[in-house]
Each structure stands twice: as structure tokens, then as C-alpha cells.
């Protein structure tokens, strides 16, 4: 018998994932896929019910393929039925004509320093004076106010129209639209206090109402008993999963040391809670021999904890995983942990197929797989007779197993790797156990104020000590490897190499080691090729950043960034829009100049000619018109330029440009007013001029 046959749910879940991926990238008609799925299921049931046992064994592989094909189509249909934009009543088809809309608050409100964000579901909208049924989710952003209090279940009347969440406009920047798309949210709306009114309170799910009420009560207890704001923010993040009050400094410290996972309530916290419950319930199992009692109590407490955290998606995923594992143990049936994990993933993806593309979902399952499969093998590599050292090595093997399994995926999403993650987790993970237990104890003893204050004081000091340790690790030299960029093909190749190496260790077959070695060589050659390309690259990037004119001239691994007078390099705009592309291109040195200042420098080839800024760089000519140019120079012959860049509303019509310049591309910058830029683009199209509108078309990258 093939070892693969021992993992039926792994095969089934992989087939479901294949169907979801196929629907994501090759979307078809839902009625056609549903009809084919019904036909395959009918054939499958007919074959299984009609054939004899002998014939069934002979046809078993083909019947298996038929079942997997049905599961593949099930995943395909699940994606299509969950894709709400195919409904003609969806907001996508009418958002431009909406005057006002009625929506219900469908999630928890996240409060920041100045504004709050919440997901609302539209019930109806006023279009051309008439109310119509409309569906869709909107990310609503409204100012924090002493008057306006919004909570889950409120029915809101909102003036104005939501807008489509813009896609990433600059190379390699974070795609916020894709991130929100996982939750089927494709629109956003920034409103003023006077544009929004609470009409009623009609919560669609009473369980969520109770859950959020308990969550708010727990938050108020932490606010009452923990005085230090930083300690309170970390405690609420670690115990309750509420990260709204975390400061950027604290978040950065945990991210750069590889310990941010303790501040995101997920499988680690549920696992810690389950482990503590198992220790406490051992005594109960001695007194009461019922095999099912301890697992039943454990499940009840785990789901109660999920309820206290506001039924957060990450906690629900982890609780679902543990529910499958505990249920299998309670039933006393021999089962594989891989089948159990696959079964939980199947249930979650069947319920919400978009979860497949959620970073938290991917990292959660990869981390669990790393701990389950890699950790025992890593732990066996070293035998320590000292009990303390052995516990440290056990903790290290868990961290290494999880980190190895998640490293390629983490590098793909976050582009950095913490080098001291093992040392940091020696302290932070056990401390997370202490903080979680103390935090829950504060909540459970809230009726005994003096005891709760004492426990909260202890909790506060533990958190502050952990924060100090994390900052110390962050300050160590070479604590973080940054500017790492991996594409999807490289990530898949890395996981392929890891899988081949594990198969080789299991089977001791040299062919797997040979294929893994060839894959490593292929990856190395690819890296060398990328390095050589970066050394000779010549690029110009016109960035698309609202109200700013930013141009990067890149030669080899050096970048010269030309910015306007209002742009600050230490702002979030640089980190969010510009830095990702600089990192991907392998930029190791850079300098920044403002066009007005660069004119005075002889080291940069920019000059003023007839009141215009002219750059001649690497055989290409760039003319920047960014000042009021009512009196353009009168030229006897047209001046040739490769790029003519318009900014700061300097040009009202392109006709004078056509009379004076012979240009390759007209670049309409984002520093122009939007209505003027649109008019210039329309004129360019009418005259057959090649143009690029940065605000609508995104950044322009030119290579030669």
C-alpha cells in the first residue's frame, strides 16, 4: 500500500485547494461548473453503489480520481459562489451613481488615534433619487467623536458614495485592495461626522453582540487595573487580540526580533491555553475515569476563549484546528495529525475559500506543520542531559521548526528575516505563557478587586520586562536581514527543495537528494543571473504619489531620487510607495535631490534652458515643466525630448507643447489637479500622442 493512501483528507483538501486556485485565476460560469459537479457526483455515487467489492478494488484508483475530480470542482464552485461581484446588485455595478446609502455595521470597530475603521454591509442605496436594493461591503472611516458612537449592529445612514479601493500604483508596494478583497470588501469611504447618522440597532448575529460586549468589558478591566499604557496595550494584544492601542515602536520591536506572533492571538495562544488545561485536568482524569470529560472541558474552554476575544478569525481558525484534534482523541480512533489538520483546513476553505490567500491562514498551517513534522527530527539531533539545557533545546527546536516551515512565505510577504529569533523566543514564548495566564487570572478575579490589582501589577511588570528584552535583542548588531525579495516561483522552488530533502531523509533514496541538489543549483544560477542584471540595469521610475512629483534615476545598484520641495524622506509615503521598489531592484546606495537644488550642483546633469528643467541622462532627455509656463519659449524648430513631464498645473492644454516639442512620452504627473490631468490626457488621445497619466495608470517604469 502506498504511504499516500494513509492521508485521505490531505488528498481531498489538496484537490479542493486546486479548484479554488483554478477559479481564482481562470474564472468561468458557475452554472456550467455546478452542472459538471452534479454529473460527476452522480457518476461517483452510481459507481460506488453498483459495483461489487472485487470490482471496486480493481477500479479503486479510477474511482479515487473521480472523487478527487468532484472535490476539485467543489472548490471551483465554492469560489464562484462566494465571489459577490458577479451579482448585478453588487456595489461594483452602481457605486458611481450612489447619492447616499443605508448600511449595517457587520464587524468590530477598530479605533485609532484620530479615526476609526469598520466594515459595513450595504442594505440599500439612493440612486437618482430612488432607493434600490444594493449589496456589498464598505470599509468606513469616520472621525473619533464624543457624540458619534458606533458599534456592531448599528444601522447607519451615510451621505455620499463609496469609492473602489485603489490598487497598488507603484512597483511592489503593498496591495491594500487585494488585502481587503480577501474579506470581499472592494470599496472604502472616508466620511465626516455630519455625513453619518445612527438610525437603529439591529445586530444580525446576537452571539457576536454578546461576544463584543464581553470583549469590551474585558478591555475595561485591563484599562482599570493596568496603569502603564505600553504594558496595557501589549496585554490586550496578547490576551484579547486587540492591537489597536499598540504603538508603532512596540510593534516594530517585536517584528524585527521575530516575536510578533505572540501579539497576534492565534494557534500559539490557543495551544498554550490547551496545554495548561491538560495539566489542570490530569487530576480530574484520576478522580473521574470518563475518557471524554477532559477533552470536552478543554473544547468548552477553548471556544469560550474564542468568544471572549470577539470571535476573531485567527482564533476561530486555531480553535477549529484544535477541535478536530481533540475530537479525534476523544473518540479514541487512530488518526494522523496530518489528516486532522487537512480536515480542519477543508472545513475552513469550504466555508470561506478566500481564506486560502490570507497571510495568517497560510502562516498558521505552515507553522503547525513545521512543529509537527520538523520539530521532533530537529530535537533528536542533540541529546542534552542537563534538564534546563534540554528544555531550552526543546523550545529552540519548536522555534526552528516553525521558522523553517514559514521562512519562504514570510520572506515573500515581509521581506525580512530576524537572525536572533531563537534567542528571542527563549524568553518571549515562555513569557507569553505567563502573560496569558496572568491576564486571564486578572479577568477571572475581577470580582475580588485587591487580588486583581496585585495580579495586574505583576502582569504589568512582566510585560515591561519582556518589552525591554525585545528592545535589547533588536539593538544587537545584524539582528535583522532586510531587503529580501522573493517571487512566487522562488517561494515554490524553496518549498520544493525542502520537501525533496525531507522525502530523502525519510526514504533514503538518492534520487530525491539529486533532484533537490539540482533545484538548489537552479536557484543559485537564478540568483547569480538576477545579480548580474542588477549591476547593469538602467531604469527611470516616475512614481504615482498623490500631490507629489517623484522620479528615480537608477543605474546599477545606485539610485538618484528627484523629489519636490514638499516631500519628506522620513515620511510613511517613502516607506510605503518608494522603498519596496528600491529594495527589489537591489539598490545599495542612493542620494536624494530636489530639482531646484540639483540645478546648482555640477555633479548632476540637470540644467535650466529657456526656463525649463532639462536632464540628459544615459542617452535619454527629460524635460520637466513644473512651473507656470504661460510664456513657453518661441522656437524656430521643434526640440526633441524622450520624456516631457508635466507637473504642478503648469500646462492647461497640450497644443503649445505640440507646437514646440517632439516628444516620445507625455508624462502627466500626480502633482496636477485631477480634472486638469484628465483633460490633458483626453487631448493627448485626440491628437494621437503617447501619454501616461500617473494618477490613473500608476507609476511608469522605463528600462533600456
Contact 579, 171 (CB under 8 A): no
Grid cell, residue 647, equals 507637473
pLDDT tens-place string over residues 12-38:
999 999 999 999 888 888 888 888 888
Q: In what order do the strands lie in the sheet with 558-563?
A: 589-594, 558-563, 551-555, 538-542, 700-703
For residue range 590-634, what is the model confidence (pLDDT) as tens digits? 888 887 676 666 667 777 777 788 888 888 999 998 877 666 777
Do residues 669 and 694 make contact, with C-beta atoms less than 8 angstroms apart?
A: yes
Are the C-beta atoms of residues 30 and 74 closer than 8 Å to each other? no
The full length of the chain comes to 704
Beta strands (DSSP E) in 74-136 are 98-105, 110-111, 115-127, 130-133
Dihedral (CA of 10, 15, 21, 23) sign:
negative
Q: What is the pLDDT of residues 93-143, one digit of tens each?
A: 887 789 999 999 998 888 877 788 999 999 999 998 899 999 999 999 998
| pLDDT tens track for 162-186 | 999 998 999 999 899 988 988 899 9
Given a contact cutoff of 8 angstroms between Cβ atoms, the answer to whether 345 and 364 are in contact is no
- Residue ranges of E strands in 206-327: none
Distances (CA, A) of 33 to 17, 80, 83, 292, 690: 16, 9, 14, 42, 42
DSSP string, 448-490: SHHHHHHHHHHHHHHHHHHHHHHHHHHTSTT-EE------HHH
Name 585's bridge partners. none
- H-helix segments, 508-613: 510-536, 572-573, 579-584, 595-598
CA–CA distance from 289 to each of 276, 284, 325 (Å)? 20, 8, 20
Q: Is 351 helix (H, G, I), strand (E, B) or coil?
A: helix
Phi and psi at residue 275, to the nearest 5° = -65, -45
Which H or E run includes 359? Answer: helix 359-369
Average pLDDT for 434-445: 90
Strand partners, 125: 101, 132
Each residue of 332-375: pLDDT tens digit?
Answer: 665 678 888 888 889 889 988 998 998 888 888 888 888 888 88
pLDDT at 32: 87
Amino acid at each position: 500500500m502506498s504511504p499516500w493512501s494513509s492521508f485521505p483528507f490531505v488528498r481531498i483538501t489538496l484537490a479542493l485547494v486546486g479548484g479554488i486556485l483554478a477559479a481564482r485565476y481562470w474564472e468561468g460560469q458557475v452554472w456550467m461548473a455546478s452542472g459538471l459537479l452534479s454529473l460527476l457526483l452522480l457518476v461517483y455515487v452510481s459507481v460506488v453503489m453498483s459495483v461489487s467489492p472485487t470490482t471496486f478494488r480493481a477500479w479503486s484508483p479510477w474511482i479515487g480520481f473521480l472523487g478527487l475530480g468532484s472535490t476539485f470542482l467543489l472548490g471551483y464552485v465554492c469560489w464562484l459562489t462566494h465571489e459577490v461581484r458577479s451579482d448585478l446588485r453588487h456595489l461594483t455595478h452602481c457605486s458611481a451613481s450612489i447619492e447616499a446609502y443605508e448600511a449595517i455595521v457587520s464587524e468590530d470597530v477598530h479605533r485609532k488615534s484620530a479615526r476609526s475603521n469598520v466594515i459595513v454591509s450595504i442594505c440599500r442605496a439612493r440612486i437618482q433619487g430612488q432607493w434600490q436594493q444594493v449589496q456589498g461591503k464598505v470599509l468606513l472611516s469616520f472621525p473619533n467623536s464624543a457624540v458619534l458612537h458606533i458599534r456592531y449592529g448599528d444601522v447607519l445612514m451615510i451621505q455620499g458614495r463609496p469609492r473602489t479601493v485603489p490598487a497598488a500604483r507603484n512597483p511592489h508596494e503593498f496591495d491594500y485592495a487585494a488585502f481587503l478583497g480577501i474579506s470581499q470588501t472592494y470599496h472604502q469611504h472616508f466620511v465626516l461626522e455630519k455625513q453619518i447618522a445612527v438610525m437603529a440597532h439591529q445586530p444580525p448575529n446576537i452571539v457576536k453582540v454578546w461576544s463584543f460586549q464581553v470583549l469590551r468589558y474585558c478591555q475595561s478591566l485591563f484599562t482599570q487595573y493596568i496603569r502603564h499604557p505600553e504594558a496595557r496595550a501589549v496585554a490586550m494584544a496578547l490576551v484579547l487580540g486587540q492591537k489597536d492601542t499598540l504603538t508603532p515602536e512596540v510593534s516594530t520591536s517585536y517584528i524585527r526580533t521575530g516575536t510578533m506572533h505572540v501579539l497576534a492571538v492565534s494557534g500559539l495562544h490557543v495551544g498554550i491555553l490547551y496545554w495548561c488545561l491538560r495539566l489542570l485536568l490530569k487530576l480530574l482524569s484520576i478522580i473521574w475515569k470518563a475518557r471524554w470529560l477532559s477533552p470536552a472541558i478543554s473544547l468548552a474552554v477553548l471556544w469560550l476563549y474564542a468568544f471572549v476575544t470577539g470571535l476573531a478569525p485567527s482564533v476561530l481558525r486555531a480553535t477549529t484546528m484544535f477541535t478536530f484534534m481533540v475530537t479525534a482523541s476523544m473518540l479514541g480512533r487512530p488518526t494522523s495529525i496530518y489528516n486532522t489538520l487537512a480536515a480542519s483546513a477543508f472545513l475552513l476553505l469550504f466555508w470561506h475559500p478566500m481564506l486560502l490567500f490570507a497571510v495568517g491562514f497560510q502562516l498558521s498551517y505552515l507553522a503547525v506543520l513545521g512543529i509537527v513534522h520538523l520539530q521532533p527530527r530537529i530535537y533528536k539531533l542533540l541529546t542534552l542531559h542537563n534538564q534546563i539545557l534540554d528544555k531550552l533545546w526543546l523550545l529552540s527546536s519548536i522555534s526552528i521548526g516553525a521558522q523553517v516551515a514559514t521562512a519562504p512565505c514570510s520572506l515573500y510577504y515581509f521581506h525580512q528575516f530576524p537572525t536572533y529569533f531563537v534567542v528571542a523566543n527563549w524568553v518571549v514564548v515562555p513569557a507569553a505563557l505567563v502573560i496569558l495566564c496572568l491576564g486571564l487570572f486578572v479577568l477571572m478575579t475581577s470580582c475580588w478587586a485587591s487580588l486583581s490589582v496585585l495580579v495586574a501589577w505583576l502582569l504589568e511588570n512582566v510585560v515591561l520586562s519582556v518589552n525591554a528584552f525585545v528592545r535589547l535583542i533588536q539593538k544587537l548588531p545584524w539582528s535583522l536581514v532586510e531587503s529580501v525579495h522573493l517571487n512566487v516561483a522562488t517561494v515554490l522552488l524553496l518549498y520544493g527543495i525542502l520537501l525533496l530533502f525531507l522525502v530523502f531523509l525519510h526514504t533514503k533514496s538518492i534520487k530525491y537528494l539529486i533532484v533537490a541538489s539540482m533545484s538548489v543549483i537552479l536557484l543559485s544560477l537564478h540568483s547569480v543571473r538576477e545579480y548580474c542584471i542588477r549591476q547593469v540595469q538602467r531604469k527611470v521610475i516616475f512614481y504615482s504619489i498623490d500631490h507629489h512629483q517623484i522620479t528615480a534615476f537608477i543605474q546599477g545598484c545606485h539610485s538618484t531620487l528627484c523629489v519636490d520641495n514638499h516631500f519628506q524622506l522620513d515620511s510613511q509615503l517613502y516607506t510605503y510607495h518608494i522603498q519596496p521598489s528600491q529594495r527589489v531592484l537591489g539598490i545599495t546606495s542612493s542620494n536624494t535631490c530636489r530639482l531646484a537644488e540639483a540645478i546648482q550642483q555640477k555633479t548632476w546633469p540637470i540644467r535650466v534652458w529657456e526656463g525649463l528643467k532639462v536632464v540628459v541622462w544615459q542617452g535619454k532627455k527629460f524635460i520637466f515643466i513644473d512651473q507656470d509656463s504661460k510664456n513657453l519659449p518661441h522656437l524656430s524648430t521643434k526640440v526633441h525630448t524622450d520624456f516631457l513631464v508635466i507637473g504642478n498645473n503648469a500646462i492647461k492644454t497640450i497644443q503649445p507643447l505640440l507646437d514646440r516639442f517632439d516628444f516620445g512620452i507625455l508624462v502627466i504627473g500626480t502633482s496636477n489637479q485631477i480634472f486638469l490631468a484628465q483633460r490633458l490626457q483626453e487631448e493627448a488621445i485626440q491628437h494621437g500622442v503617447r501619454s501616461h497619466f500617473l494618477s490613473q495608470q500608476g507609476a511608469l517604469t522605463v528600462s533600456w
